[in-house]
Amino acid sequence: MFGIAKDKLKILKRLNSPKKIQDFLDKMPINFEEDGDTFLSPMAVLEKKTCHCVEGAALAALALRVNGWPPLLLDLAANDNDWDHVVAVFKQYGKWGAISKTNHAVLRFREPIYNSIRELAMSYFHEYFDDNGKKNLRRYSAPVNLARFDQRGWMTAKEDIDYIPEYLADIKHFRILNRKQIANLRRADKIEIEAGKILEWRKTN
């Protein structure tokens, strides 16, 4: 199937629901990119058993595809004070949900309860703050079907797939806030900031 090696396909076939995919990603250590920026392909993630948000989202999208869903990614774009976040999105029972790889207590899995992609994106807004409590989520993309990259071999590649995050960064995004709303945002509470510092994985050296 899709030219995926049998041993890797067997793993992906077992991940036959969004919940199982999320559980699989949660058990995988975060990729701290200690040797520089990486955009590991799904096959490289399965080999190295580590990933960050974009890499985890691409693997989730492939697992969804192998099990009958379209391989969709959603880009959540922050202001210049923060990082973008990428999730794999899926539709179940007519509602949208998301699979997310993160090292923090926030920006995680979303149950399929959202009527639209905008609703889903907005569910991340109040969690998207920095260490000073500033709320930084500003825009979101439409879902991107990774089938558009099939000719580039994203599903079976061993090399980095940096063209996917580059594409996500360049496509049209939809604004969440206007200037007046941004100017009047309240900062996250101290307890929220402290909770946001909880890490799932820590560097070993």
**Helices 53-66 and 6-14: angle between axes, nearest 10 degrees:** 90
Predicted confidence (pLDDT) per residue in 138-161, tens digit: 999 999 999 999 999 999 999 999
Length of the chain: 205
pTM above 0.75, yes or no: yes
Q: What are the residue boundaries of the structural domains of the chain, listed by start?
A: 6-196
Q: What is the pLDDT of residue 205?
A: 67
Q: Taking CA 162 as the corner, what is the angle to CA 157 and CA 165, rounded to the nearest 5 degrees?
A: 120
Q: What is the pLDDT of residue 66?
A: 98
CA–CA separation, 2 vs 6, rounded Å?
Answer: 11
- All residue ranges of the chain with pLDDT < 50 are none
- Contact (Cβ atoms closer than 8 angstroms) between residue 78 and residue 138: yes
The token pair at 14 is 């077992």
3-state secondary structure of 137: strand
- Contact (Cβ atoms closer than 8 angstroms) between residue 135 and residue 187: yes
CA dihedral 114, 111, 49, 33 (to 10 degrees): 50
Q: What is the pLDDT of residue 2?
A: 95
CA–CA separation, 187 vs 184, rounded Å?
Answer: 9
CA–CA separation, 129 vs 135, rounded Å?
Answer: 4
The token pair at 4 is 């995926």
